């Protein structure tokens, strides 16, 4: 785990750094947030930032977002000033840690970050051959392609492989190829020189250089523009990159992992993905099954997320009631683990009993066990809803039937109206998380953002963004 500590705090911050080092973290120290941003842009990557509350945390968090640097920010300050703690959280910090530092508290913060990134709950029979393959190839240098539906845990699997590899002490750097605009992705991957393009006010080290001696994850690699695919192919062949605006090649020592939620062979046939790049990435393929095919993991995952969000929201941890477990295992989880995570986040906040009760668990569809009966005995509109319960992607009309109560509610409504309602409903279900909503809807994050911008221009209320 890589930690960046920002500020002075009369020497206490150094104590926190020493504790983190003793707990196995790699630590860099910066005097202020400007120095920290400079370090991050020059390849000093970090998984977590601890920042003095006297620093401008809001400005730092905003700058991280502008520079597309994704990591949690922990505020820290001398004593337990409640107002400073609240202000820091309001400015974007995830937690507040009082100083002088408590060794156990620092260790708990580090453990929470590293555990969240690498936990792999996989005890169902369907996951046994998958985990055996992952364990077998993890120590190698082979490029790995991880495939599966959206939300099946592809990034968590990549973290697991890195942790089990010979590169575990090196950095793990993830790049979401679908979330970064096409005109910025090349710079994100390979870096750029000052003046390379409008807005390039200084040199920036790309993710490949940042991942040197470690692992780089190309998440949703099939969303990469074909012109950039050719440059990526050269990196795989030569193990060197060229920054935008430079003619000098830079050698990089990285292991490459990639993920996709699409049928890549079909993408190759349709000319959307280079065949030679596909073969280069697909040295080893790990195919993750959907959550509906691993029912014995549902309750374990649900309890993990319930505990995680109880801690995140400072509420008491609760066990799942027997009825809640039955409700969860009967559902088909079209959005897979990501949908389960969002469901349990809401459930831990809504629960009023000593155990999480079934009424606190909001599901979009009826239990999956009733789906086949619906398909046999129901008219076409109802069958379309049953298809979605069984895991098939529903049409816009079918989704609107299920959300609006009946086919009669579609009469007189345009397709655009139905689509808008489906998008807004899904966004509310994901608590405003754009990335999760796009995955559930089966559209790209760019398409979703364009739709939401359109709705806002039309005066439609759009759920506030949260985490994606």
Q: Where are the domains of the chain?
A: 2-118, 125-289, 292-360, 368-457
Rounded Cα–Cα distance for residues 244 and 198 (Å): 12
CA 109, distance to chain mean position in Å, is: 19
Report the pLDDT value the prediction gives residue 131, as an integer from 0 to 100: 95
List for the chain the helix, strand, coil content (%; round to 5).
50, 15, 35
Asked if 290 and 148 count as a contact pair (C-beta separation under 8 A), the reply is: yes
Report the residue count for the chain: 468
Read off φ and ψ for residue 104, nearest 5 degrees.
Answer: -70, -35
Please name the CATH architecture into which domain 292-360 falls: Orthogonal Bundle (1.10)
Q: Which sign, positive or negative, has the C-alpha torsion 3, 8, 9, 15?
A: positive
Q: What DSSP designation does 23 have?
A: T
Task: Provide the CATH number for the domain formed by 125-289 in this structure.
Answer: 3.40.50.300
The Cα-based distances of 200 to 67, 353, 440 in angstroms read: 11, 54, 35
State the maximum Cα–Cα separation within the chain, in Å, rounded to a whole number: 73
Q: What is the DSSP string of 349-418?
A: HH--SSSB-GGG---SS--GGGHHHHHHHS-HHHHHHHHHHTTPPPPHHHHHHHHHSSGGGGTT--HHHH
Per-residue model confidence as pLDDT tens for the chain (468 residues): 788 888 875 666 666 667 777 666 778 888 889 888 888 888 787 888 888 888 888 999 888 888 878 888 888 887 666 777 788 888 888 878 877 767 677 666 666 655 555 568 899 999 999 999 999 999 999 999 999 999 999 999 999 999 999 999 888 999 989 888 877 899 889 998 888 887 777 888 899 999 999 999 999 999 998 889 999 999 999 999 999 998 899 999 999 999 999 999 999 999 999 999 999 999 999 999 999 999 999 999 999 999 988 887 778 999 999 999 999 999 999 999 989 999 999 999 989 999 999 999 998 754 444 333 333 333 333 333 333 333 344 433 333 334 434 444 556 667 777 888 888 888 887 777 787 788 778 787 778 888 888 888 777 888 877 655
Same fold, 125-289 and 292-360: no
pLDDT in tens, 10-51: 666 666 667 777 666 778 888 889 888 888 888 787 888 888
Rounded Cα–Cα distance for residues 425 and 423 (Å): 6
Bridge partners (DSSP) of residue 29 are 5
Bridge partners (DSSP) of residue 284 are 144
Q: Which two tokens mark 381? A: 């509109």
For tokens 């830079």, the residue is 250
Q: Coil, strand or helix: which one is 191?
A: strand
Please tell me whether the peptide bond between 241 and the residue prior to it is cis, using omega within 30 degrees of 0.
no
Report the pLDDT value the prediction gives residue 300, as an integer from 0 to 100: 95
For tokens 């495939």, the residue is 147
Report the pLDDT value the prediction gives residue 47, as an integer from 0 to 100: 81
pLDDT in tens, 378-397: 333 333 333 333 334 443 33
- Give the residue from 126, 159, 120, 162 showing the smallest Cα distance to 141: 162
Intra-chain end-to-end CA distance of the chain, in Å: 23
Task: Provide the CATH number for the domain formed by 2-118 in this structure.
Answer: 3.40.50.2300
Number of H helices, E strands in the chain: 21, 14
The fraction of the chain above a pLDDT of 70, given in percent, is: 82
Rounded Cα–Cα distance for residues 178 and 185 (Å): 9
């Amino acid at each position: 785990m890589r930690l960046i500590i920002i500020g002075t705090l009369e020497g206490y911050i150094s104590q926190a750094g020493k504790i983190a080092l003793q707990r196995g973290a790699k630590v860099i120290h910066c005097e202020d947030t400007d120095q920290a941003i400079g370090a991050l842009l020059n390849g000093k990557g970090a998984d977590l930032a601890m920042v003095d509350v006297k620093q401008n945390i809001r400005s730092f968090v905003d700058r991280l977002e502008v520079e597309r640097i994704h990591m949690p920010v922990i505020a820290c300050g001398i004593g337990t000033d409640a107002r400073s703690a609240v202000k820091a959280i309001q400015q974007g910090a995830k937690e507040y840690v009082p100083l002088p530092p408590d060794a156990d508290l620092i260790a708990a913060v580090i453990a929470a970050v590293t555990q969240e990134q690498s936990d792999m709950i996989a005890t169902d029979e369907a996951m046994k051959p998958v985990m055996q393959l992952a364990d077998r190839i993890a120590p190698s240098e082979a490029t790995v392609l991880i495939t599966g539906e959206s939300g099946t845990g592809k990034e968590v699997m990549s973290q697991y492989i890195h942790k089990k590899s010979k590169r575990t002490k090196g950095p793990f750097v993830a790049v979401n190829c679908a979330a970064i605009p096409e005109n910025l992705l090349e710079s994100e991957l390979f870096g750029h020189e000052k003046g390379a393009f409008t807005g390039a006010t200084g040199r920036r080290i790309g993710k490949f250089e940042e991942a040197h001696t470690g692992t780089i994850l190309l998440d949703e690699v099939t969303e990469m523009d074909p012109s950039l695919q050719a440059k990526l192919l050269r990196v795989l062949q030569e193990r060197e990159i060229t920054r935008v605006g430079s003619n000098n090649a830079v050698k990089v020592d990285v292991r490459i992992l990639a993920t996709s939620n699409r049928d890549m062979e079909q993408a190759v046939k349709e000319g959307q993905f280079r065949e030679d790049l596909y073969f280069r990435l697909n040295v080893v393929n790990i195919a993750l099954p959907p959550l509906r095919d691993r029912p014995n993991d549902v309750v374990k995952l649900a309890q993990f997320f319930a505990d995680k969000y109880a801690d995140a929201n400072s509420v008491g941890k609760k066990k799942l009631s027997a009825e809640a477990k039955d409700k969860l295992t009967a559902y088909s989880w079209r959005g897979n683990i990501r949908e389960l995570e969002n469901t349990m986040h809401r459930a831990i906040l809504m629960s009023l009993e000593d155990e999480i009760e079934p009424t606190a668990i909001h599901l979009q569809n009826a239990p999956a066990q009733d789906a086949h009966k619906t398909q046999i005995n129901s008219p076409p509109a109802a069958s379309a809803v049953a298809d979605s319960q069984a895991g098939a992607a529903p049409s816009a009309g079918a989704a609107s039937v299920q959300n609006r109560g009946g086919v009669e509610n579609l009469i007189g409504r345009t397709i655009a109206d139905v689509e808008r309602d489906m998008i807004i409903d899904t966004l509310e279900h994901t608590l405003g998380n754009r990335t999760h909503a796009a995955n559930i809807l089966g559209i790209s994050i760019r398409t979703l953002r364009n739709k939401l911008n359109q709705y806002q221009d039309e005066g439609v209320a759009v759920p506030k963004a949260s985490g994606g």
